[in-house]
Amino acid sequence: MACNIPEPAHSPHPRRRAAPCPSRISNTRTDRQLCRFTQLVAEVLAGQRNPAQMKALLSRRAYTLLVRRSGVYACARSPRVRRTYLHTEDPEVTEVNAVVDCDSRYRALALRVAFARDTWVCTHLETDVGRG
């Protein structure tokens, strides 16, 4: 999986965050975790992962959207997240935009991930394909 997350232009060094203490819940989500989560959602959209595996990581509304769109990215092979763009205006909310490689076609995927109920959950997702 190739997740290319551009570093800020003003920083010559990659961002480094201290690992959170395991005894407390952290409201920081690493770029790598968001990239991996995006890949898992793409696999559900391609029909290669059961949406129930993702249920605990999504709000009720986002889970319903994911189930409804499961399989719309039909690929002969596993989809690959090629580019991921993160936008954070609030430290507890991140919007993820991704380009997903599905065989000979590229797809768009957008997620909103928020810190709620002492954990991170995906509260909304959008794709370039809807289920009619």
Between CA 79 and CA 63 the distance in angstroms is: 20
Domain assignment present for residue 3? The answer is no
Domain assignment present for residue 79? The answer is yes
Domain assignment present for residue 96? The answer is yes
**Rg of the chain taking only CA atoms, in angstroms:** 15
Domain assignment present for residue 19? The answer is no
The enclosing domain of 36 has a CATH number of 3.10.450.100
- Report the share of the chain in percent with pLDDT over 70: 75
The predicted structure's pLDDT at residue 104 = 83
More reliable by pLDDT, 87 or 10: 87
Task: Give the bridge partners for 116, in sequence order.
Answer: 119
The predicted structure's pLDDT at residue 125 = 95
Residue 101 structural domain: 31-127
Please tell me the total count of domains within the chain: 1
Domain assignment present for residue 105? The answer is yes
Q: Which segment of 1-15, 39-53, 77-91, 114-128 scores lowest on mean pLDDT?
A: 1-15
Domain assignment present for residue 37? The answer is yes
Rounded average pLDDT over 47-73:
94
Domain assignment present for residue 48? The answer is yes
Domain assignment present for residue 55? The answer is yes
Q: Which of 123, 34, 46, 118 is nearest to 83 (CA)?
A: 34
The predicted structure's pLDDT at residue 19 = 42
- Angle, to 10 degrees, between the axis of helix 31-45 and the axis of helix 60-69? 50
Mean pLDDT of the chain: 81
The predicted structure's pLDDT at residue 89 = 81
Rounded average pLDDT over 90-101:
92
Q: Which of 42, 39, 34, 40 is nearest to 75 (CA)?
A: 42
